[in-house]
Every structure is written in structure tokens, then in C-alpha cells.
Structure 1
Amino acid sequence: MAPGHRSILIAGAGTTGLTVALELARRGFRPRVVDNDVGPVPLAESRALGVNARTLTLLGPSRVTDAILQEAQQIAQFRATSEGRRLATVDTTKVPGRFSAIYALAQGHTERLLLSKLDDYEVDPEWQTAIEKVSGDAKPVVTLRKPDGTVETATFDIVIGADGAHSVVRKAVGIGFPGEALESSFYLADFRYKKEIDPHFIEMQLVDPGMIGRIPVERDVLRFISTLPDFETRIVHPGPVAERLWASEFRIHFRHVEEMAKGNVFLAGDAAHIHSPAGARGMNLGIEDACWLAYLISEGRESEYSRLRLPAVKTVLKQTRQLTMLIAMRNRLAISIRNLAVPVLFRLPAFQRRLLNGVAGYDTPPPPWIDGAL
């Protein structure tokens, strides 16, 4: 059977699932995509915001990058403050290549751009279609429940679970998801302002203990994320608020599978790993999984996927855990030492390069199918 004629089912039409579908489609495959939701994530409820340089490189061949750059806000600076004092400033444009380290674009927008490009290949997700059962892993048999309640059973050459942290596919084939959750919760709220605000920097305010982060969403929308339940009373808004758009509370987990595949069933994105939003790596790491998996399938090398991706996953989880512990400190002595050390560290060129490489996504292996990729 020619590689392009292999039957492939993708569970999940988020950024990871849509990316693997698009990368397969542009290589001549015609994957089938199913998702239990009614459509892409609502624009006003997008958890993921950061699009890093690695993702822009990966999405270049499909031309999604051009569309992202037209809509995204370039982040030119990262700032850290404590009690009104600037601890550190990092120029996030100082990374190799044509992109800045990080851009801001709500996940809902990114999903819609991916859907638009995928439509060029006449691949449309089947919404409100749930996976009820996956049997076997060498030649997976999948039971689907359609929107009208009818049940379909079909056999596929490859099944890809990109169906989130509670992945039905992962559970069905018996792949464990070990890890732990932080004891404390995180909180976020999005605000729209009556006038445009400066969207070109991210700021982390250390309030000791705890933090409040300011992240641009659009030219007139900011997201504030914090470790403090009462953080909204502490926000210093940059102008008159037009409306409070959305708020949420969540627990942070650090988990990853021990293997990202079992037979011809593969896992990608949150189905394989979840971690802190520190460093804006979650959605980007899932997109990276998707692009590598599509490439390996097209080369007939999909059996190498887990071996090639797990080291990258472990690298990112280690980095995000370190960043999270740094901002979530509660011990007064540790906080004092951190606040003394941060300005010194951030003045060291080697430290800044390492930090920016992580934020840009350049601390994982470059894609061999893209010439000149970092």
C-alpha cells in the first residue's frame, strides 16, 4: 500500500490534531479528524496565547505562519518587577532567525487559521463525534458515536490521540500518565480596555509571596494570571476597563506518558504531556509533536516517534517546573534570595541566551525536513 493511502484517524481537533492533519494532508495523506466538541475553542476562552519561534518555523511550509504573523502581537520584552522595582528586562527579539522568541495570539484564532488552511485540502473535522472504544494497537478498531447518535465501527492503519489531558485514546490502549499536581491553584482573568494598550511586552510582578503576570491578548485586551485568589483587587490597569471578558481557576499538573506510542496508536500534545503555562510551551510543544509525527509517518519511520519526542518532552517539563517553582515561592528567605539573584542572572548574556532559547522553543531538536531550521 502506498504511504499516502494509509487510513489515519486523528482524535481531537485542537491545535495539535489540526496541525498533524494539515502536515499529513500537504504530504498527500487524507486523514480523518473527529472531535467531541461542537467546534473550535471559543475565542474568548483561549487558555493558550503564546506562539513561539519554533512553531512559526514548523508552520512555515503550510503557510499558516504568514497568517499568524498578520494577526499576532509581537512580544518585544519580558519584564520582572517587585514592589515597583524593575528586577529584569529581556529583549525577546534577540534570538537567531527571522522570528522573535514569542508572539501572542489566542488559541481560538490559531485553531481557525489551521482550519482555514486544512480546508484547502478538503479535510474537515467531524464535530460532535466521540470515540467510545479503541480495540487493539497493531490494526486499531475504533468505535465512533456520531452527532445523530448512530454508531460506526471502523479499522484504521494509524490512530493518533490528540484528544487532550483526559485522552480517551490513551486510556483505551492502556498507556499510563504518571505525574503530580501542585497544591496551589492558579487564576486568570481577561479584560478589554476602552482604548488600545501597549501589547508588546509581558510583565511578571512578584508580590512576595505570589505573582501577577500581565500578558497581551489583543491590542485592547490583557490577561492577568496569578497565584493569588484576590489578585483582581491588586491589578493596576493601564486604562479604563470596558469589560471583564473571562475568568478561570485551574490546577497545574506535571505529567507525561512513559511511551508516546503503542503499536500503531500514537499520542501527541496534552494527551501525552501536561505542565505549567510558564514559558508558554504547552500548545507549542503539541504542535511540535504533530509536525514530527506527520513527518515520520510520511517517511515510514513512525516507530521512531516515541524515542525521538520523549527527550524533548522531558526537557520542556523540567524547564517549566523550574520556572513555576521560581514564581510560586512562599518561603520568605528563598524569596529574598531570588529577588537578589534575578537582576544579577538576567544581566549575564549566557543566562539570557539559555532563557530565550527555551522560550523560542530552540532547546529541542530542529526539524530535519526544513532547511536552515534552528
Structure 2
Amino acid sequence: MASGHRSILIAGAGATGLTAALELARRGHVPRIVDSDAGPVPLAESRALGINARTLALLSPSRVTDAILQEAQRIAHFRIVSGNRLLADVDTTTVPGPYSAMQVLAQGHTERLLLGKLSDFEVAPEWQTVVETVSHDPSKPRVTLRRADGSVETADFDIVIGADGAHSTVRKAVGIDFPGQALESSFYLADFRYAEPIGTGSVEINLFDPGMIGCLPVTRDVLRYISTLPDFESRIRHPARVAERVWASDFRIHFRRASEMARGNVFLAGDAAHIHSPAGARGMNLGIEDACWLGWLISEGREREYAALRMPAVQTVLKQTHQLTSLIAMKNPMAIAVRNLAVPFLLRIPAFRQKLLHGVSGYDTQSPPWIAGAL
């Protein structure tokens, strides 16, 4: 059967699933995409914000990148402060290529831009549609779907893509393990809207030794604060008068990856395949990267190569985010003192600084061969 005529089901219409659908649709496929939610992520509750240079390159053929750059805030500096001492100030615009290392746009906006481009191919998610079962024979996946009105459909697919999050029904149904660990401490976040526009060109981490508060822009008048400290809101130095507290949440960080990213004709992408700390803003980006690689490989008839190609990238990102999280969540006074001495020294070394920016940009994973000149 020609690759463009295979029946493909994508479970999950978040950023990863929508990207998979878009990459397949623009190559001539007509995938079905289903999601248990009623619509995309609410704009006020967007957890993922960072869009790195690799993602912008990957989304450029579909023209989603053009739309992102019109709405996103560019991050020009990454700063680390301990007390009144500036430990690091990294210029994130110095990476090679057409894009700076990081842009910021709420996940809900990113998903709506993907939905808009996907509609050009007359593909739309089937919302409030739940994947109930996937057959135990992944070489011939048979899927049972249940809609909000209670109706049930059972259908066979040539390919099933599980982009249905950390609690993936698809992953569990085909028996793929999801080993890993959770950090002992919790993280907390809150978004504040200000009465006037504020400077939005930098990300700053304030180290309280122990504990930290990170600050990054959401829009021109909204900042997100993320912290390891339960009382962090009382420690925030607001840059202007607060108009409203938009959203707050807390969560524990897990580091997990699927033991396999594919089994038979069932493939995992995004949080269904790997979860990790938000440090470095790699989560949504890595899922979009999975989706783009999978879309290309399916269209080339090479989907059997997916797991072998993607697992090294997943391992790289999990290692990097674990190291960054350990660096900012230190509690031992001696380790904190060593870190505060080492970080300024290391970042004065050009090779070390460029390696850090290379990772923040997403360029530490394999370059996509279908995009000419991609780094």
C-alpha cells in the first residue's frame, strides 16, 4: 500500500499530536486525530512556554514558524542571580542560524496556530473522543473509540501514534513500560498580569540558597514565576503594580522514558514517551521534534527507524534537564558554595557557553535531513 494511503490514527491533540497531523497532512496523508478534551489547552493555563530554535526550524516548512514569530517574545538574555550577585548573563541571540535560541509563547497559543495551519488541509481533531482500547497485536492495531454522546467505534489502522500524554492509554494498551523516578520536592508556579507593559526580553533565576525563583515572560504584561519554595509568592519583587494573579499550580517533577518508543505499528511521541523537568524548556520542543521525525519517516516508508533515531535525543535531553534541575534545586550548603563559584567561571569560557546555548537552542539532537541547511 502506498504510504500516503495508509490509515493513521493520532491519539492526542496537544502540540505533539497536532504537529504529527500537520507534518503528515502536508505530505499527502489524511490522518485522524482524537482527543479526550473539549479543545486545546486554555490560554490561561499554558504550562509550556519556550520554543527553541530547533523547533522553529522544524515548523518552518509548514509556515507555523512565521506565525509564532509574529506573536512570541524573543528571549535575549538568560541570567542567574544569587543574593545581589550576578552569577551569569548569557546572550541567547548569539547562536548560529536564522533563529535566536529561545522564543516564548504560551502553549495554548502555539496549539491554536498549529490548528489553524492544519485546517488548511481539512483535518480537524475529533474532540471529546477517548481511546478506550488498542489491540494487543501492535502489528495490526485495532482501536476502540468512545465519543461524548456514548457512541462507540472500533476500527483497524495501519499506524497508531500515541501522543496522549504521560498517562498514555496507547502506551499502556500495548504493554510498554514507563520507568523512572520523581524528585522529592515539589515545584510551584504562578502567573501575574501587570497594570502596564513590562520588560520581556530575559529569563532570570534567583537563587535563595537553598531554593530558587525563576521568572520568565508569558506576554508583554504577564510574567510567570516558578519556584522550589512553597512561600515564593511572598518573596517576589514585582516590576509593576499587579493587576491580577492569572493562574497558579504546583507539581512534582518526574524523569521517565518509555522502554520502547515503538512496538509494531504503534509509535509513541511527546509526553507519552518521555517526561522530565521543565528546566531548559525542552518538553514541548522534544515532543514536536518527535512528531516531525515520525511524520517524515512514515512518508518515506522508514518508520521502523523511528525508535533508533529518537532514543538518543531523548536520552540527551533527560540527562541535560536532570543536571540543570539538580543545579538549581541544591540544598547542601557546601555544594551551593561550589556551584556559585563554578558557574561564573565556566560561563566565561567561550566553548562552555556555546555548548550551553547549543543545548538551549535544541541543536544537541540530530539535524533533520529533510530541511536544507538545518543545524
Normalising by structure 2, we get a TM-score of: 0.99
Q: 1:367 deviation in Å?
A: 0.1
Structure 2 residue runs without a partner (length 5+): none
Superposed, which structure 2 residues align to 1:212-227 within 5 Å? 212-227=213-228
The residue type paired with residue 48 of structure 2 is A
**Is 1:361 the equivalent of 2:367?**
no
Q: Secondary structure at the match of 1:313?
A: helix
C-alpha distance in 2 between matches for 1:173 and 1:372: 38
Superposed, which structure 2 residues align to 1:95-174 within 5 Å? 95-135=95-135, 136-174=137-175
Q: What's the CA shift string for 1:268-307, capped at 9, x where partnerless?
A: 0000000000000000000000000000000000000000
The residue type paired with residue 103 of structure 1 is Q
Q: What's the CA shift string for 1:162-182, capped at 9, x where partnerless?
A: 000000000000000000000
Q: Secondary structure at the match of 2:96?
A: coil
Structure 1 residue runs without a partner (length 5+): none
Percent identity between matched residues is: 75
1:8 equivalent in structure 2: 8
What is the CA RMSD across the aligned residues, in angstroms? 0.4
Superposed, which structure 2 residues align to 1:127-276 within 5 Å? 127-135=127-135, 136-276=137-277
Q: 1:218 deviation in Å?
A: 0.3
C-alpha distance in 2 between matches for 1:290 and 1:350: 31
C-alpha distance in 2 between matches for 1:275 and 1:223: 19
Q: Secondary structure at the match of 2:110?
A: helix
Q: 1:3 deviation in Å?
A: 1.0
1:290 equivalent in structure 2: 291
C-alpha distance in 1 between matches for 2:258 and 2:155: 26
C-alpha distance in 1 between matches for 2:106 and 2:47: 8
Q: Provide the aligned length of Structure 1 versus Structure 2.
A: 374
Q: 1:345 deviation in Å?
A: 0.9
Superposed, which structure 2 residues align to 1:65-84 within 5 Å? 65-84=65-84
C-alpha distance in 2 between matches for 1:85 and 1:138: 58
The residue type paired with residue 206 of structure 1 is L
Q: 1:84 deviation in Å?
A: 1.5
Q: 1:258 deviation in Å?
A: 1.7
Q: Secondary structure at the match of 1:126?
A: coil
**Is 1:343 the equivalent of 2:344?**
yes
2:302 equivalent in structure 1: 301
Q: 1:346 deviation in Å?
A: 1.1
Q: What's the CA shift string for 1:329-363, capped at 9, x where partnerless?
A: 00001001111111111111111111000000000
C-alpha distance in 2 between matches for 1:267 and 1:331: 38
Q: Secondary structure at the match of 2:182?
A: strand
Q: What's the CA shift string for 1:119-172, capped at 9, x where partnerless?
A: 000000000000000002011000000121000000000000000000000000
C-alpha distance in 2 between matches for 1:203 and 1:71: 21
C-alpha distance in 1 between matches for 2:124 and 2:38: 13
